[in-house]
């Protein structure tokens, strides 16, 4: 009996041991499985995270592509300082050769006070002959007049010509010339917007100074100031000319001259600035200024100018309201040789309007006129309203004599 109990106990112990081993193996297996699953889950999360990152990058790239513009800034303004349209007009951007507009104004200031003259002769130094970028082909010892160098600077955008002028004005002291430029900028009220450090607008890697920078609005204000120097505007209108005894032919960098009423001003470009342009335009009675900064290239920049011009003239135009040769009303005549007569405004009137403007002309006159009537006789008056506000009034007059009709009785 005892032997049986001992065997039973032994078997029970073995079963328990085996059972614990199985459980332990199952637990270990469960632990191992969990760890593997954990690694797999972590790996899946990593892979998913990488995919999400890639997707985010793709989304970011798409977003960038969608919002990326062909130009950095653009502006339309009129001759009176009114900005009609703007894109990022306060965004600071390198001016490149638009800087030369300020430089040449400084030069003309020197001419106006008599310090230098247009016919003064300037000898090209070795230093000037080595100025890079856009330039005219001159060498050390060549002699050009101030006037020729101004033309080369504005038409050809020649950096060596611009530096030669700055060198001449301040006897080689470029810092003194930059101070004159800064003073000019301040006189326009742009000292907090436009910062100039060189005469020609070359990039800082060449000048070893800060970049010449400002905003589209700053360029617009500079152009308005340039209009006080008609000599500058006239030079920027020139498509092509010769200087240096007709030895050097210079062609305007502004290929838009003559297109859609474009009269002149300046281009400017380098790698950091992209393609800039400042345009003066006369079209359909309007005198406008267009600014484009940071075009990807000249073609895109020019296209933007044409788009700005089209946009303006689709939304704004000059409309003839009254014409002395066009009647405003016809009225009946009694006892006269004519039964009807036309009445004309006594003055011509044109107004600038936009697409949303409402123009009304109210005519006040008698129902009928009685002959005799004389040419230029006032027979009524008219009032012109723009958006409900009176902007003009005048008389209605006859353009002919109308005698009284006589009846003969037999």
DSSP 296: S
The predicted model gives 235-243 an average pLDDT of 98
Q: What is the pLDDT of residue 4?
A: 45
Q: How confident is the model at residue 406 (pLDDT cuts 50, 70, 90)?
A: confident
Q: In the CATH scheme, what is the code of domain 73-317?
A: 3.40.710.10
Among the CATH numbers 2.30.30.280, 2.60.410.10, 3.40.50.1260, 3.60.40.10, which is that of 323-398?
A: 2.60.410.10
Alpha-carbon distances, residue 283 vs 82, 94, 118, 147, 262 (angstroms): 17, 29, 32, 29, 8
In the chain, residues under CATH classification 3.40.710.10 are 73-317
Task: Specify the 3-state DSSP secondary structure of 346.
Answer: coil
Write the secondary structure of 92-142 as one string of H (helix), E (strand) and C (coil): CEECHHHHHHHHHHHHHHHHHCCCCCCCCEEECCHHHHCCCCCCCCCCCCC
Query: Closest by alpha carbon to 364, among 390, 393, 337, 387?
Result: 393
**pLDDT for the residue numbered 409:** 55
Whether residue 408 has pLDDT greater than 80? no
Residues 85-110 have a mean pLDDT of 98
Report the C-alpha dihedral over residues 373, 376, 378, 380, rounded to 10 degrees: 90
By C-alpha distance, which of 293, 358, 345, 316 is closest to 90?
Answer: 293
Contact 321, 390 (CB under 8 A): no
Asked, as a colleague might, if the bond just before 372 is cis with ω within 30 of 0, I would say yes
pLDDT higher than threshold 80 for residue 338: yes
pLDDT at residue 8 tops 70: no
Distance CA 103, CA 205 (A): 20
User: Which part of the chain is CATH 2.60.410.10?
Assistant: 323-398
Interhelix angle 100-112/216-226, rounded to 10 degrees, is 30
pLDDT higher than 90, residue 79? yes
> How many angstroms separate the CA atoms of 220 and 87, rounded?
13
240-257 pLDDT, tens digit each: 999 999 999 999 999 999
> Terminus-to-terminus CA distance in the chain, angstroms?
175
Q: What is the pLDDT of residue 179?
A: 98
Q: What average pLDDT does this structure show over 56-78?
A: 61
Average pLDDT, the chain: 85
- Report in angstroms the alpha-carbon separations of 308 from 284, 313, 316: 15, 9, 12
Predicted confidence (pLDDT) per residue in 167-216, tens digit = 999 999 999 999 999 999 999 999 999 999 999 999 999 999 999 999 99
Q: Has residue 391 got a pLDDT over 80?
A: yes
> Is the predicted pLDDT of residue 123 greater than 80, yes or no?
yes
């Amino acid at each position: 009996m005892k032997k049986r109990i001992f065997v039973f106990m032994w078997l029970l112990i073995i079963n328990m041991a085996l059972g614990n081993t199985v459980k332990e193996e199952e637990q270990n297996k469960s632990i191992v499985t969990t760890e593997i699953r954990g690694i797999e889950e972590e790996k899946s999360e990593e892979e998913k995270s990488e995919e999400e990152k890639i997707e985010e990058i793709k989304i970011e790239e798409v977003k960038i592509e969608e919002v990326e513009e062909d130009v950095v800034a653009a502006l339309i303004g009129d001759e009176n300082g009114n900005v009609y349209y703007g894109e990022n007009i306060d965004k600071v951007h390198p001016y490149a050769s638009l800087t030369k507009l300020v430089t040449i104004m400084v030069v003309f200031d020197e001419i106006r006070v008599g310090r230098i003259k247009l016919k003064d002769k300037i000898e090209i130094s070795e230093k000037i002959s080595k100025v890079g970028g856009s330039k005219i082909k001159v060498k050390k010892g060549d002699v050009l007049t101030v006037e020729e160098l101004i033309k080369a600077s504005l038409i050809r955008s020649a950096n060596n010509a611009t530096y030669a002028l700055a060198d001449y004005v301040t006897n080689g002291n470029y810092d003194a010339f930059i101070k004159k430029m800064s003073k000019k900028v301040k006189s326009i009220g742009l000292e907090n917007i436009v910062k100039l450090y060189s005469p020609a607008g070359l990039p800082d890697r060449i000048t070893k100074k800060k970049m010449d920078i400002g905003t589209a609005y700053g360029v617009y204000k500079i152009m308005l100031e340039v209009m006080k120097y008609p000599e500058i505007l006239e030079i920027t209108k020139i498509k092509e000319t010769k200087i240096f005894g007709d030895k050097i032919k210079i062609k305007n960098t502004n290929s838009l001259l003559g297109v859609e009423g474009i009269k002149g001003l300046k281009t400017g470009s380098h790698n950091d600035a992209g393609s800039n342009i400042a345009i003066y335009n006369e079209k359909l009675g309007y005198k406008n200024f267009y600014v484009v900064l940071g075009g990807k290239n000249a073609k895109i920049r020019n296209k933007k100018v044409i788009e700005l011009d089209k946009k303006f003239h689709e939304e704004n135009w000059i409309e003839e309201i009254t014409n002395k040769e066009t009647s405003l009303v016809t009225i009946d005549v009694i006892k006269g040789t004519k039964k009807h007569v036309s009445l004309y405004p006594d003055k011509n009137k044109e107004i600038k309007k936009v697409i949303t403007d409402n123009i009304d002309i109210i005519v006040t006159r008698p129902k009928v006129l009685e002959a005799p009537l004389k040419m230029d006789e006032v027979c009524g008056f008219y009032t012109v309203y723009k958006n409900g506000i009176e902007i003009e009034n005048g008389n209605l007059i006859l353009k002919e004599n109308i005698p009284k009709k006589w009846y003969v009785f037999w």
